[in-house]
């Protein structure tokens, strides 16, 4: 089967065409600045007759997502640089949908009722869900009859028990407004924990795994016997560990305090917490990118040292708390941009965890981006580097639900 995986943002659309039989990526790309001046399609053919691996950038107007999807289809079927002969070769479309609320604990084939339910969750993800729906509508219009599947960022976390997902707030806010912890990056947490069990040659139902998805956005999850029992992101992706530009957990009273001191509105403070905080804020605005921070750290720059040290302690504290909530831990997996490529960050986090029996193999840990066990043979808790692959996970879900 050939599956088109779509990840729609409000002004962007990322895609991959995956051959599910070989799990090869045939082509991938990105439409940027949809609905804005200067929109462009960046397309990379990777398989078939056009397997030249060169990026092709086309600057062209895209007034909306329907135009963007039609340009993607044109690129995929282009005589010279396409990877399929016709649109008919696309057997199914898998969409990343950010928020499924409590309605979805697994992926689903999209119909009108599913779209209504995604719309109902828009309050919880106002930037993402409407964009995801626009992408779904655009694909339905241009590929009528091709099955479409929604894969939710929140679904994997729906197994969390009430005691893990409730906040210490008046219960009526949960009853009236569904204020609770939902968690995000679920596709990645699910993919990485399953892969961890495969690498260790163990049944996931016998394992306690902590996944540290450390990218620009970052979240951790506790996966016990194959089910998520806790996760660090909450009602929104702002809660939890310190991220690239997001604050993660803070004392909520800080919001009022800053608003009063700096004469700011709540929306302005929220903007600071989302876009100007995290390691970017801690480094005094230097960078949200760990490549820059690591370089600064190695030169002894105080702002970079401050950012990395504060970040690593926070992640370590989450891992410690998840070892407590699962009453043990067999494996810790690092994934996503920083987790997969950051030996310094992994080492610093693991130094806090020696009391659990974590022993890092410094040679294995020095590698970047490779799937491997990075703890020593005698480490009581296994530590792994597991590159995530959310697109492949979405393609697999799409095949599972649509293969006749």
Active site residues: 153
- CB-based burial label for 387 (10 Å; 0-12, 13-18, 19+): middle
- Closer to ligand AMP by Cβ: residue 74 or 371: 371
Q: Is 291 in the site for ligand AMP (CB under 6 A)?
A: yes
Q: How many binding residues for ligand AMP (CB under 6 A)?
A: 13
Which one of the spans 5-13, 95-103, 255-263, 331-339 is the region binding ligand AMP (CB under 6 A)?
331-339
Query: Greatest CA span in the chain, whole angstroms?
Result: 62
- 298-315 burial: b if 16+ Cβ within 10 Å, else e: eeebebbbbbbeebbebb
- Closer to ligand AMP by Cβ: residue 104 or 334: 334
- Closer to ligand AMP by Cβ: residue 368 or 380: 368
- Closer to ligand AMP by Cβ: residue 19 or 294: 294
Task: Give me the least distance between CB of 62 and ligand AMP, in Å please.
Answer: 23
Task: Give me the least distance between CB of 154 and ligand AMP, in Å please.
Answer: 18
Q: Is 216 in the site for ligand AMP (CB under 6 A)?
A: yes
Overall size of the chain counted in residues? 404
Q: Is 244 in the site for ligand AMP (CB under 6 A)?
A: yes
Q: Is 156 in the site for ligand AMP (CB under 6 A)?
A: no
Which one of the spans 66-74, 313-321, 333-341, 372-380 is the region binding ligand AMP (CB under 6 A)?
333-341
Q: Is 337 in the site for ligand AMP (CB under 6 A)?
A: yes
Q: Is 315 in the site for ligand AMP (CB under 6 A)?
A: no
Q: Is 191 in the site for ligand AMP (CB under 6 A)?
A: no
Task: Give me the least distance between CB of 226 and ligand AMP, in Å please.
Answer: 24
Q: Is 245 in the site for ligand AMP (CB under 6 A)?
A: no
- Closer to ligand AMP by Cβ: residue 3 or 338: 338
Task: Give me the least distance between CB of 84 and ligand AMP, in Å please.
Answer: 27
Q: Is 77 in the site for ligand AMP (CB under 6 A)?
A: no
Q: Is 237 in the site for ligand AMP (CB under 6 A)?
A: no
Q: Is 338 in the site for ligand AMP (CB under 6 A)?
A: yes
Q: Is 298 in the site for ligand AMP (CB under 6 A)?
A: no
Q: Is 296 in the site for ligand AMP (CB under 6 A)?
A: no
Among 25, 83, 316, 336, binds ligand AMP (CB under 6 A): 336
Among 78, 89, 289, 371, binds ligand AMP (CB under 6 A): 289
Q: Tell me the three-class secondary structure of the chain, residue by residue.
A: CEEEEEEECCCCEEEEEEECCCCEEEEEEEEECCCCCCCEEEEEECCHHHCCCCCEEEECCCCCHHHHHHHHHHHHCCCCCCCCCCHHHCCEEEEEECCCCCCCCCCEECCHHHHHHHHHCHHHCCCCHHHHHHHHHHHHHHCCCCCEEEEECCHHHHHCCHHHHCCCCCHHHHHHHCCCCCCCCHHHHHHHHHHHHHHHCCCHHHCEEEEEEECCCEEEEEEECCEEEEECCCCCCCCCCCCCCCCCCCCCHHHHHHHHHHCCCHHHHHHHHHHCCHHHHHCCCCCCCHHHHHHHHHCCCHHHHHHHHHHHHHHHHHHHHHHHHCCCCCEEEEEHHHHHHCHHHHHHHHHCCHHHCECECHHHHCCCCCCEECECCCCCEEEEECCCCHHHHHHHHHHHHHCC
Q: Is 282 in the site for ligand AMP (CB under 6 A)?
A: no
Q: Is 12 in the site for ligand AMP (CB under 6 A)?
A: no
Which one of the spans 204-212, 229-237, 245-253, 287-295 is the region binding ligand AMP (CB under 6 A)?
287-295
Angle between helices 186-200 and 390-402 (to 10 degrees): 90
Binding site for ligand AMP (CB under 6 A): 215-216, 244, 289-291, 294, 336-338, 341-342, 368
């Amino acid at each position: 089967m050939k599956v088109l995986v779509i990840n729609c943002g409000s002004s962007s659309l990322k895609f991959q065409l995956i051959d599910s039989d070989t799990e090869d990526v045939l082509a991938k790309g990105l439409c940027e600045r949809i609905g804005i001046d200067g929109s462009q399609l960046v397309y990379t053919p990777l398989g078939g007759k056009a397997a030249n691996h060169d990026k092709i950038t086309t600057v062209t107007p895209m007034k909306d997502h329907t135009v963007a999807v039609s340009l993607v289809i044109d690129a995929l079927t282009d005589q010279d640089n396409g990877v399929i002969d016709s649109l008919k070769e696309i057997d199914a479309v898998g969409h990343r949908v950010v928020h499924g609320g409590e309605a979805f604990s697994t992926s689903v084939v999209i119909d009108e009722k599913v779209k209504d339910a995604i719309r109902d969750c828009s309050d919880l993800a106002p930037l993402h869900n409407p964009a995801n729906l626009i992408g779904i509508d655009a694909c339905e219009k241009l590929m009528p009859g091709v099955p479409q599947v929604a894969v939710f960022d929140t679904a994997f976390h729906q197994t969390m028990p009430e005691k893990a997902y409730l906040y210490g707030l008046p219960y009526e806010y949960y009853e009236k407004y569904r204020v609770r912890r939902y968690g995000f990056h679920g596709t990645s947490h699910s993919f990485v924990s399953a892969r961890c069990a495969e690498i260790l040659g163990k049944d996931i139902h016998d394992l306690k795994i902590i996944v540290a998805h450390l990218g620009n956005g970052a979240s951790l999850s506790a996966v016990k016997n194959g089910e998520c029992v806790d996760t660090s992101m909450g009602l929104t992706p702002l809660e939890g560990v310190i991220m690239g530009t997001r604050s993660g957990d803070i004392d909520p009273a800080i919001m009022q305090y800053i608003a009063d001191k700096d004469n700011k509105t709540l929306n302005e403070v929220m903007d600071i917490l989302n876009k100007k905080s995290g390691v970017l804020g801690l480094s005094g605005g230097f960078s949200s990118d760990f490549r820059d921070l690591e370089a600064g750290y190695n030169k002894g720059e105080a702002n970079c040292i401050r950012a990395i040290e504060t970040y690593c302690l926070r992640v370590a504290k989450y891992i410690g708390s998840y070892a407590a909530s699962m009453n043990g831990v067999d494996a810790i997996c690092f994934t996503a941009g920083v987790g997969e490529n950051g030996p310094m960050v992994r080492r610093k986090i693991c130094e806090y965890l020696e009391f659990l029996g974590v022993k890092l193999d410094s040679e294995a840990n020095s590698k970047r981006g490779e799937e491997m066990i990075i703890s020593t043979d005698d480490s009581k808790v296994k530590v792994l580097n597991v590159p995530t692959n959310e697109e492949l996970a979405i393609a697999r879900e799409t095949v599972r639900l649509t293969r006749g």
